[in-house]
Amino acid sequence: MQELFTETIVPLMPWAVLITAGLAFIVMPLITTLLNGQISIKSIAGIIALLAIIFIVYTMMPGEGWEMFDTAKYAKDGITENISLLGQEFKLMKYVETGIGVTLLLLAIAVISWIGLEVLNFANRMF
């Protein structure tokens, strides 16, 4: 079971993530945009903003293994090292760090927006 995980499933995960992200964030909004032209500008702007955030966070991440992963359960199997798939070298840690970074950044944006809009709503009610 461990061999199946480390040799088959882990190398396929970057492709699974790319396909899922492509379907969720690019294909589905484009279909919605084609069906409803009024929201096309907002949809395209949202896709561009999300891709820009992912690109910026990806370029900022070092992609080096963290010390806590040196003693992890699967560290001896090379999970934290680069993987090769179809002749391409992938830094697996860089993808993990990018996913975590984008998630935290979008969470921070959501919380700051929420607080800002509540303050604005409070100010509108007061005056």
Q: Residue 30: its pLDDT value, please?
A: 74
Higher pLDDT, 33 or 107: 107
Query: What secondary structure letter does DSSP report for 42?
Result: H
CA distance 105 to 108: 5
Residue-wise pLDDT tens digits, 64-98: 766 666 666 666 665 556 666 666 666 677 888 88
Tokens representing 47 are 């896709």
Residue 10 burial by Cβ neighbours in a 10 Å radius (0-12, 13-18, 19+): middle
What is the rounded radius of gyration, in angstroms, for the C-alpha atoms of the chain? 20
Instruction: Report CA-CA distances (Å) from 85 to 31, 112, 118, 120.
Output: 31, 39, 47, 50
Give Dmax over CA atoms of the chain in angstroms.
65
pLDDT exceeds 90 at position 45: no
CA distance 89 to 63: 13
CA distance 25 to 43: 10
Amino acid sitting at position 33: T
Q: Residue 125: its pLDDT value, please?
A: 92
Q: Tell me the average pLDDT across 4-20.
A: 80
